[in-house]
Amino acid sequence: MASHIQHPNLPVPDYFSKFASIYVRQTGHATLNILTDIITNNVQTSAHPIGPDSVVHDTAAGPGIGAAALVASLPKGQLPKKMLVSDNNAMMVNAALESLAASPLPDVDCKELDSQDVNPVPSNYFTHSIDNFSIFTFVRPGDAIRETYRTLRPDGLAIVTCWSRFAPVFIVHAAQKKIRPDLPDSALMPTPRPEFSEEGVLQKVVEESGFAKANITMVDKVLVVTEEDNIAGLTMLMSGPMMAKAREGFTDEEQAKWGEAVSQSVKEEVAKNGGIRFEAYVLLGRAENQKNPSVPTIDDSCNSSTMNHVFEKTTGGVLIGIGDIEDQR
């Protein structure tokens, strides 16, 4: 992952590579489960459902969460005929490739691409584009949305999600306060682009980047994680190197208290909310019927040398357990 792609408050790229294989468990399946719910209850009930003629982009995909959500929520006959899974971290891309190789998706390709500039993908290519809990990680979120709009066909549908309440941040802040009660709020662990947790910010960025207000639908989602294994995975996430910034400047004695402080803060979160509570903004944005007459819509059977290059398969990676997802259908 190139350093200029990453928001300064995110972990270093090398850590994300190690994180790829355990991503799903350490997120408590939250990003997967919320997106699966969105596909089932919002996308498939809309005027633009995903089906066997669809061409879908899972952008900033990590280890292919968007693709995994499609497999989890759609019967085999409704899966898109073609799918591009892209991320700018090679390890994430390889993890997605190996995981999805045995999936029922008819044609899925995994590529290392920057969501803020997905050339050489041509304009007007995808019927659907998924940006799942990534927009706040971009240095230039508007550019990422403009690329989503550019690559959608006329009437194509974008699915963009971001957190309004990312529970691990609240839990980590509580743990910091347990170890250092006098710590001012300004010294608590920072989060990338916290403005996206404010109501209206996501829609404003999307409107400014090409989508008409009349073509945008906003939905709120709440997920309370109650399963012991998922809570354990999230606890591991908060106790480990992903949250190292929360422990910057700690003495060895304070570092030794971190695991217990996180565990206690998790218990308090569960007692208060009945589990670990996530809240999300979901935006469904439809491209205009006639986006740009000078740019032809790419035919479904596109076999140009450009697209052959874009969809050339990669190899290698690690497994994240797509079989477990299929079993949940």
List pLDDT tens digits, range 213-226: 999 999 999 999 99
Query: Would 205 be classed as within a structural domain?
Result: yes
Question: What is the three-class DSSP state of 50?
Answer: coil
> What pLDDT score does 25 carry?
81
Question: pLDDT for 248-259, tens place per residue?
Answer: 999 999 999 999
Residue 291: the pLDDT is 60
pLDDT, tens digit (0-9, with 9 covering 90-100), for 88-134:
999 889 888 888 888 899 999 999 999 999 988 999 999 999 999 99
Select the more confidently predicted residue: 184 or 298.
184
Has residue 230 got a pLDDT over 60?
yes
**For the chain, what is the HEC assignment?**
CCCCCECCCCCCHHHHHHHHHHHHHHCCCHHHHHHHHHHHHHHCCCCCCCCCCCEEEEECCCCCHHHHHHHHHCCHHHCCCEEEEEECCHHHHHHHHHHHCCCCCCCEEEEECECCECCCCCCCCEEEEEEECCHHHECCHHHHHHHHHHHEEEEEEEEEEEEEECHHHHHHHHHHHHHCCCCCHHHCCCCCCHHHHCCCHHHHHHHHCCCCHHHEEEEEEEEEECCHHHHHHHHHHHHCHHHHHHHCCCCHHHHHCHHHHHHHHHHHHHHHHCCEEEEEEEEEEECCCCCCCCCCCCCCCCCCHHHHHHCCCCCCCCCCCHHHHHHCC
Q: What is the pTM of this model?
A: 0.83
**Torsion region of 266: left, alpha or beta (phi above 0 gives left; psi -120 to 50 gives alpha):** alpha
pLDDT (0 to 100) of residue 19: 52
166 has which bridge partners? none
Mean pLDDT confidence for 304-319:
39
How confident is the model at residue 259, as a pLDDT?
97
The answer to whether residue 261 sits within a structural domain is no
Report the number of distinct structural domains present in the chain. 1
Place 16 in a pLDDT band, splitting at 50, 70 and 90.
very low
pLDDT digits (tens, 9 = 90+) for 201-211: 999 999 999 99
Count other Cβ atoms within 10 Å, centred on residue 229: 11
Average pLDDT of the chain is 85
Q: Is the residue at 265 inside a domain?
A: no
Tell me whether residue 5 is in a domain. no
**Are the CB atoms for 192 and 10 separated by under 8 Å?**
yes
User: Which has more confidence, 214 or 22?
Assistant: 214
Res. 199: pLDDT tops 60:
yes
The answer to whether residue 245 is domain-embedded is no
pLDDT at 278 over 80: yes
Q: Would you say residue 60 lies in a domain? A: yes
Q: Is residue 234 part of a domain?
A: no
Domain assignment present for residue 127? The answer is yes
Supply the pLDDT for residue 20. 57
Q: Is the pLDDT of residue 292 over 50?
A: yes
Separation between Cα atoms, residue 55 and residue 245, nearest integer Å: 39
Share of the chain above pLDDT 90, in %: 71
pLDDT score for 325: 31
* Number of C-beta neighbours around residue 303 at 10 A: 7
pLDDT of residue 24: 79
- How far is it between the farthest Cα atoms of the chain? 65
pLDDT at 164 exceeding the cut of 50 = yes
User: If you average pLDDT over residues 270-275, what whole number do you get?
Assistant: 97
Q: Look at the block and give the residue holding tokens 């691409």.
A: 113
Asked if residue 135 lies in contact with residue 31, where contact means CB atoms within 8 angstroms, the answer is no
- Domain range for 160 is 19-166+190-224+277-327
Structure tokens at 184: 């001012």
Two structure tokens written together for 73: 């929520």
At residue 22, the pLDDT reads: 76
The CATH number linked to 36 is 3.40.50.150
